Structure 1
Amino acid sequence: MHTAINLSERTADVQGFWNPEHLLTLDNSHSLKIANIKDGFIWHSHPNTDEMFYCVSGGPLRMELCTTATSPEEAEKLGRDEVVVLNVGDMFVVPRGMQHRPVAERETGILMIEKVGTVNTGDREGDERTVYVQEKA
């Protein structure tokens, strides 16, 4: 049976913050994940994939970018040089390899689209915030 997915309801069911859950796989190549976020995440990038963010609820989501950094450590030293603000209904694509850090001052539900197998902490895989999401077809 085919059914619609209500993103607001699904993100409301996610337990905790920064704990992405698999929603569905698109064409065996891209994973749609949902999460609730609050406060700031770590600087990181995804060297092999773009990452799309859609603000489902709460907000605003601030995507801090360090466009000149080539590593998370360098981004921490330099800090943000751009900020993209996403309110509910807005989306933004972080280009592959760009150091970024999502920040939300209040609970915010998000949808992410990325290649299957992408880890939330990107080039900082193994960090205490790394979550390995079970992706199913």
Structure 2
Amino acid sequence: MKKTVTVLALALCLTFPTVNALNSELVSTTVEIVEEKTSVSPLCEAAAKGDIETVKQLINNGVSVNQKSNGMLPIHYAARFNRVEVIKVLITSGSEIHATCDKGLTALRHAEKTNAKEAAEFLKRFKK
């Protein structure tokens, strides 16, 4: 019995360095950081938040109402977040009502998908 325990202990001791050597080969010392940038333009951010004053100020300073940010126009953001007053400002400033985002959705479709009822009802007035 004593021999068996000694042999098992010896075998166990010999396997640990092997396991540790294998683990060190599996572990990488380099770290790769992947950062996805999804920043939104100030006009699109203001449209999403419903900040009418900032929207007006940006438009007065020459920011285009038809400039996409992350594949969507400001009117798409306003429609998604049910910002009817912002939609009105964007339309009067020349926003393309029927323009599609990079996924092929119009402002009306964005409003419908997000259950933004007031925005959807307002945009239906302009349906082709």
TM-score scaled by length of structure 2: 0.27
Larger % of helix: which? 2
Larger % of strand: which? 1
TM-score scaled by length of structure 1: 0.26
Ranked by relative contact order (alpha carbons within 8 Å, sequence separation 6 or more), the top structure is 1
